[in-house]
Amino acid sequence: MCPDPVVLVIFGSGGDLNWRKLTPALYNLFLDKWLPEKFAIIGVDRREMSMEEFRDHLLDGVNRFSRRGRADPTTWSDFASHLAGYISADFDDSAMFTTLKDKLAAFDKGWNCRANHVFYLATPPALIPTVSEQLGSANLTSERDRARIVVEKPFGRDLKSAQELNAKLASVFHESQIYRIDHYLGKETVQNILVFRFANAFFEPVWDRRYIDNVQITVAEQVGVEHRGGYYEHAGALRDMVQNHLMQVLCYIAMEPPVSFDANEVRNKKLDVLRAIRPLRKKQVLECAVRGQYGPGRIDGENVIGYRQEPDVAPDSQAETFAAIRLFIENWRWQGVPFYLRTGKRLGEAISTVSIQFQAVPHQPFPASALEKHWQPNRLTIEIQPDEGICLHFHAKHPGPKICLESVDMRFSYKEAFNTEPPKAYETLLLDVLRGDATLFMRADQVEEAWSIVDPILEVWQAHSANFPNYPAGTWGPDAAESLLREDGRSWMQSASPREGTTGR
C-alpha cells in the first residue's frame, strides 16, 4: 500500500491516455487496496466538461479498458468519490494554477496533514515547458519531498531537443522530482529480467561474450498506425520505439549486477551500458541500420492498406514504420557480441521478445544421421508479450534405439506458474510514482545518452530519401533487415519456437 496521502493532478485528463490507461490503472490499484485512504484526483483539461460528465467519461474508459472488465457499481462509486475536481482552462492560464494551488491547500487543511502532490502531464510534448513553468510560478514545486512531475514520452525529438527539455524541467524541478515514464519498463516480464539474472546462480556465469553469440530484441506489431498517423509522420519507428523501449530493455539485458536495488544504483548501471555502446559514425549507418515502411498486404487473411493510405499520412511519406539496428557494447562482458534491435508495424506476428543465442558447442561428437534437419543453437527467449514467460531451447535425444537429437523447449509461463493476471504496466508505474520510487523511470543523463546513440541514424535517414514502401503488410519487414544478420552468418528468431526453415549461426 502507498501510505502517504496524495493528490494526483492529471493535466490532459480529458484525453485518450487518461481514458484508456491512467484511470483504469488507478481503479485497479484502488480495488487491490494499494492506494492510501486519503487520496484525491483532480483533472485539468482545455475540454469543457461538467464534473458529472468527467466521471461518466472515466467510467466508460474503465468499462472498456480495465483488465477486470466492467466496473462494479458499488466499487466505482467508492472510487469516484475520490475524483475531487475538474478544471477546464488553457494550460498557460496563470489564474487556473492559482485555483489549483488553493484546492491543494484545502486538502491539506481538510485532511489535517501535508499531502504529496503528483502532477501527471498526459499532454502533447509541446506543452511540457508551459505546464512546468506555470507550476513553478505558482510555487507548487519548491518542496522536493512533496511535489513530483510525471512526463510521458516522447522526451524530445533528438539529442538537442531532449537537452533543452531537460534544462527547462531542471529550472523548475530537482531531478529527484522528475519521473520520465516509459510504460514498457512497467511490464512484469521486463522487470523479471533483473530477477532472472541476479536472483539465480545458474545463468549469470554464462552471461557474457564467452558463451553468448548474439542478442536479439524484437517488438513486432500486427496493427498499423491506426489513428496516430499525424503523430507517426513526425516520429517514426526509431524515435517511437527504439530510442526508449528497446534501448531500455537492452540495458536490463547487458547491465552489470547492482550492489542494491536502490533507484540510482540501478540507473547508474543502465547508464554505464548506454555509455559503452559503440558510437555509430554517419558513414556506418547504412551498414548497421535498416528502415522500412509497410505497403498493402494481408493480416490474418484480411487485406489491409499501406502506410501511405492511412489517415493523416502524406502520399509520399518518408516516415519509417520499421527499424532494425546492430549495436556493439564495448566493455569486458560484451566485447564483440552483436545486439540486434528491431521493431515494426504490420509485421507477421504480434510479439515482444528477447532472444539470447548461445555459442555453438566447440565439438560435435554425434554422427550426421543423429542431427535433425535444421540444427538450432541453444537459445533463451524472454517472452514479454503476448505470452509472458521464459523459454529455454536445447537439444535432447529422441526416445528409441538410435541416437537422434531433437530441439525441445523448457518453458516457464507466468499464467501457469502463478495462476493470476499480472498488473498492467501503468498500475506498477503509477504506484511507484505515488511511493516516490524512481527505479523504473529514466534519468536525464540516460535519456540524453540514448538519443546520442540514435541521432546519427536520424541524421543520415533525413538526408537520404528511401524507396518506400519496401515491405508488404503481414511480412517480417524489408529484405535488408534479413541481410543485416545474414551478412554476419546469423538470422532473426521470430518467436520462442523458431520459424520453420530458419537457422542460427
Q: How confident is the model at residue 364 (pLDDT cuts 50, 70, 90)?
A: confident
Q: How confident is the model at residue 497 (pLDDT cuts 50, 70, 90)?
A: very low
What is the predicted pLDDT for the residue at 499? 38
Considering the entire predicted model, what is its pTM? 0.91
pLDDT, mean over the chain? 89
| pLDDT digit string, tens, across residues 394-417 | 878 778 777 777 778 889 888 888
State how far the Cα of 319 lies from the Cα of 293, in Å rounded to an integer: 7
Question: Does residue 500 have a pLDDT over 90?
Answer: no
Question: Does residue 453 have a pLDDT over 90?
Answer: yes
What is the residue whose three cell numbers read 466508460?
60
The yes-or-no answer on residue 117 being catalytic is no
Sheet containing 289-292: order of strands: 289-292, 322-328, 338-344, 212-220, 351-358, 379-385, 389-397, 405-413
What is the predicted pLDDT for the residue at 207? 95
User: Under DSSP, is residue 112 helix (H, G, I), strand (E, B) or coil?
Assistant: coil
Q: Can you give the residue ranges of every domain in the chain? A: 6-152, 185-486
Question: Does residue 320 have a pLDDT over 70?
Answer: yes
The CATH class given to the 6-152 domain equals alpha beta
User: Under DSSP, is residue 304 helix (H, G, I), strand (E, B) or coil?
Assistant: strand
Q: What is the largest CA-CA distance in the chain?
A: 84
Query: How is residue 201 written as a grid cell?
Result: 546462480
| pLDDT digit string, tens, across residues 199-213 | 998 888 999 999 999
State how far the Cα of 169 lies from the Cα of 121, in Å rounded to an integer: 12
Q: How confident is the model at residue 180 (pLDDT cuts 50, 70, 90)?
A: very high
Query: Which residues are paired to 50 by β-bridges?
Result: none
Q: Which residues have CB under 8 Å from 505's CB, separation 6+?
A: 213, 214, 357, 360, 377, 488, 489, 490
425-435 helix and 23-31 helix, angle to the nearest 10 degrees: 80
State how far the Cα of 392 lies from the Cα of 496, in Å rounded to an integer: 8
Q: How confident is the model at residue 149 (pLDDT cuts 50, 70, 90)?
A: very high
What is the predicted pLDDT for the residue at 332? 95
Q: How confident is the model at residue 504 (pLDDT cuts 50, 70, 90)?
A: very low
Q: What is the 3-state secondary structure (H, E, C) of 337-350?
A: CEEEEEEECCECCC
What is the predicted pLDDT for the residue at 404? 78
| pLDDT digit string, tens, across residues 32-90 | 999 999 999 999 999 999 999 999 999 999 999 999 899 999 999 999 999 999 999 99
DSSP 8-state secondary structure symbol assigned to residue 442 = B
User: Under DSSP, is residue 134 helix (H, G, I), strand (E, B) or coil?
Assistant: helix
Provide the CA 366 distance to its chain's centre, in angstroms: 43
Among residues 57, 117, 245, 393, the one annotated as catalytic is 245
What is the predicted pLDDT for the residue at 73? 92
Highest mean pLDDT (candidates 18-32, 140-154, 189-203, 361-375): 18-32
Query: How is residue 31 written as a grid cell?
Result: 480495488
* Topology at the third CATH level for domain 185-486: Dihydrodipicolinate Reductase; domain 2 (3.30.360)
